[in-house]
Protein backbone atom coordinates (compact mmCIF):
# COMPACT_ATOMS: atom_id res chain seq x y z
CA UNK A 1 0.00 0.00 0.00
CA UNK A 2 2.80 2.45 0.90
CA UNK A 3 4.55 1.83 -2.45
CA UNK A 4 1.31 2.49 -4.34
CA UNK A 5 0.80 5.83 -2.50
CA UNK A 6 4.37 6.83 -3.16
CA UNK A 7 4.04 6.04 -6.87
CA UNK A 8 0.74 7.91 -7.05
CA UNK A 9 2.20 10.96 -5.26
CA UNK A 10 5.22 11.00 -7.59
CA UNK A 11 2.89 10.70 -10.60
CA UNK A 12 0.69 13.61 -9.40
CA UNK A 13 3.73 15.83 -8.80
CA UNK A 14 5.11 14.94 -12.23
CA UNK A 15 1.80 15.73 -13.95
CA UNK A 16 1.48 19.06 -12.18
CA UNK A 17 5.02 20.07 -13.09
CA UNK A 18 4.68 19.27 -16.80
CA UNK A 19 1.08 20.42 -17.30
CA UNK A 20 0.78 23.71 -19.18
CA UNK A 21 -0.13 26.68 -17.07
CA UNK A 22 -3.14 28.56 -18.34
CA UNK A 23 -3.09 32.25 -17.60
CA UNK A 24 -5.89 34.63 -18.30
CA UNK A 25 -5.64 38.36 -18.51
CA UNK A 26 -8.31 40.95 -18.91
CA UNK A 27 -7.79 43.74 -21.39
CA UNK A 28 -8.92 47.20 -20.44
CA UNK A 29 -9.92 49.04 -23.60
CA UNK A 30 -9.77 52.79 -23.30
CA UNK A 31 -10.43 53.81 -26.89
CA UNK A 32 -8.57 56.13 -29.22
CA UNK A 33 -9.29 59.43 -27.53
CA UNK A 34 -7.22 58.43 -24.49
CA UNK A 35 -4.91 55.91 -26.15
CA UNK A 36 -3.84 57.74 -29.30
CA UNK A 37 -4.12 61.41 -28.39
CA UNK A 38 -1.62 62.40 -31.08
CA UNK A 39 -0.96 59.40 -33.35
CA UNK A 40 2.51 59.64 -34.94
CA UNK A 41 1.57 59.91 -38.61
CA UNK A 42 5.09 60.22 -40.00
CA UNK A 43 6.79 57.02 -38.82
CA UNK A 44 6.06 53.32 -38.51
CA UNK A 45 6.19 52.64 -34.76
CA UNK A 46 2.40 52.60 -34.66
CA UNK A 47 0.16 51.73 -37.59
CA UNK A 48 -3.48 52.81 -37.42
CA UNK A 49 -5.51 52.15 -40.55
CA UNK A 50 -8.63 50.61 -42.03
CA UNK A 51 -8.47 48.14 -44.84
CA UNK A 52 -9.98 45.03 -46.36
CA UNK A 53 -8.06 41.77 -46.16
CA UNK A 54 -7.02 40.52 -49.60
CA UNK A 55 -4.71 37.68 -48.54
CA UNK A 56 -3.87 35.68 -45.40
CA UNK A 57 -0.69 33.59 -45.28
CA UNK A 58 1.27 31.81 -42.53
CA UNK A 59 2.90 34.95 -41.11
CA UNK A 60 1.38 37.77 -43.15
CA UNK A 61 -1.88 39.58 -43.78
CA UNK A 62 -2.34 41.79 -46.84
CA UNK A 63 -4.79 44.67 -46.77
CA UNK A 64 -6.27 46.97 -49.38
CA UNK A 65 -6.02 50.11 -47.23
CA UNK A 66 -8.50 52.97 -47.52
CA UNK A 67 -7.72 55.26 -44.53
CA UNK A 68 -4.65 55.90 -42.39
CA UNK A 69 -4.16 57.72 -39.08
CA UNK A 70 -0.62 56.69 -38.22
CA UNK A 71 2.41 55.21 -39.98
CA UNK A 72 3.68 54.99 -43.52
CA UNK A 73 0.96 52.74 -44.87
CA UNK A 74 0.62 51.91 -48.57
CA UNK A 75 -2.58 51.15 -50.45
CA UNK A 76 -1.55 47.48 -50.66
CA UNK A 77 -0.03 46.78 -47.25
CA UNK A 78 1.34 43.41 -46.20
CA UNK A 79 1.88 43.22 -42.46
CA UNK A 80 4.30 40.57 -41.20
CA UNK A 81 3.01 39.56 -37.78
CA UNK A 82 5.19 38.21 -35.01
CA UNK A 83 3.46 35.36 -33.18
CA UNK A 84 3.19 35.64 -29.42
CA UNK A 85 1.10 34.57 -26.47
CA UNK A 86 -1.12 37.66 -26.39
CA UNK A 87 -0.81 38.51 -30.08
CA UNK A 88 -3.25 37.96 -32.91
CA UNK A 89 -2.04 35.62 -35.60
CA UNK A 90 -2.91 35.89 -39.30
CA UNK A 91 -5.63 33.27 -38.74
CA UNK A 92 -7.64 35.93 -36.84
CA UNK A 93 -8.20 37.77 -40.13
CA UNK A 94 -10.66 36.74 -42.85
CA UNK A 95 -10.28 37.51 -46.53
CA UNK A 96 -12.83 40.06 -47.78
CA UNK A 97 -13.51 41.54 -44.33
CA UNK A 98 -12.68 45.18 -43.55
CA UNK A 99 -10.77 45.85 -40.31
CA UNK A 100 -9.64 48.70 -38.13
CA UNK A 101 -5.97 47.82 -37.44
CA UNK A 102 -3.66 48.88 -34.63
CA UNK A 103 -0.18 47.38 -35.11
CA UNK A 104 3.02 48.10 -33.19
CA UNK A 105 6.56 47.88 -34.57
CA UNK A 106 8.65 45.31 -32.69
CA UNK A 107 11.98 46.93 -33.47
CA UNK A 108 12.96 43.96 -35.67
CA UNK A 109 12.98 43.37 -39.40
CA UNK A 110 12.33 40.34 -41.59
CA UNK A 111 15.09 38.02 -42.67
CA UNK A 112 15.11 36.00 -45.88
CA UNK A 113 12.53 33.26 -46.18
CA UNK A 114 9.77 34.96 -44.21
CA UNK A 115 7.51 35.60 -47.20
CA UNK A 116 8.17 39.34 -47.47
CA UNK A 117 11.17 41.33 -48.70
CA UNK A 118 14.16 41.16 -46.37
CA UNK A 119 14.20 44.17 -44.05
CA UNK A 120 10.39 44.48 -43.85
CA UNK A 121 9.41 45.75 -40.36
CA UNK A 122 7.93 43.14 -38.01
CA UNK A 123 4.71 44.14 -36.26
CA UNK A 124 2.65 42.75 -33.45
CA UNK A 125 -1.09 43.11 -33.02
CA UNK A 126 -1.99 42.35 -29.43
CA UNK A 127 -5.29 40.80 -28.50
CA UNK A 128 -5.56 43.79 -26.14
CA UNK A 129 -5.14 46.28 -28.99
CA UNK A 130 -8.13 47.79 -30.72
CA UNK A 131 -7.92 45.80 -33.96
CA UNK A 132 -11.30 44.47 -35.01
CA UNK A 133 -13.72 44.02 -37.86
CA UNK A 134 -14.90 47.40 -39.12
CA UNK A 135 -18.50 46.18 -38.94
CA UNK A 136 -18.27 46.07 -35.12
CA UNK A 137 -19.82 49.10 -33.39
CA UNK A 138 -16.70 49.66 -31.27
CA UNK A 139 -14.43 49.80 -34.34
CA UNK A 140 -16.81 52.25 -36.00
CA UNK A 141 -16.73 54.42 -32.88
CA UNK A 142 -12.91 54.48 -32.82
CA UNK A 143 -12.82 55.50 -36.49
CA UNK A 144 -15.37 58.24 -35.77
CA UNK A 145 -13.30 59.53 -32.83
CA UNK A 146 -10.05 59.51 -34.83
CA UNK A 147 -11.57 61.66 -37.55
CA UNK A 148 -11.19 61.55 -41.33
CA UNK A 149 -7.60 60.29 -41.46
CA UNK A 150 -5.73 60.46 -44.74
CA UNK A 151 -5.40 58.32 -47.85
CA UNK A 152 -2.67 55.67 -47.92
CA UNK A 153 0.61 56.13 -49.76
CA UNK A 154 0.66 54.89 -53.35
Within a domain: 87: yes
Residue 63 pLDDT: 96
Q: Can you tell me the distance from the alpha carbon of 43 to that of 86, in angstroms, rounded to the nearest whole number?
A: 24
Using alpha carbons, list the distances in angstroms from residue 61 to 24, 102, 115.
26, 13, 11
Within a domain: 114: yes
**Using 50, 70 and 90 to split pLDDT, how confident is the model at 15?**
very low
**Using 50, 70 and 90 to split pLDDT, how confident is the model at 124?**
confident
What tens digit of pLDDT does each residue of 51-104 get? Answer: 999 999 988 899 999 999 988 899 998 888 877 777 888 889 999 999 999 988
Number of domains in the chain: 1
Within a domain: 16: no
Is the whole-model pTM more than 0.85?
no
Using alpha carbons, list the distances in angstroms from residue 80 to 14, 16, 143, 146.
39, 36, 23, 25
Within a domain: 29: no
Q: Can you tell me the distance from the alpha carbon of 76 to that of 137, in angstroms, rounded to the nearest whole number?
A: 25
Domain enclosing residue 151, as ranges: 40-154
Coil vs helix vs strand at 12: helix
Within a domain: 143: yes
Give the CATH number, domain containing residue 92.
Answer: 2.40.50.320
Within a domain: 134: yes
Amino acid sequence: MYLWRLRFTVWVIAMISVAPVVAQAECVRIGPQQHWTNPPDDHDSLLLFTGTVTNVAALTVTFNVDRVWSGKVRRQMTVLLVPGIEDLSPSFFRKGIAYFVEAHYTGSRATSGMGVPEGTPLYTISSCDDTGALALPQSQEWVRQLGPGRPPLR
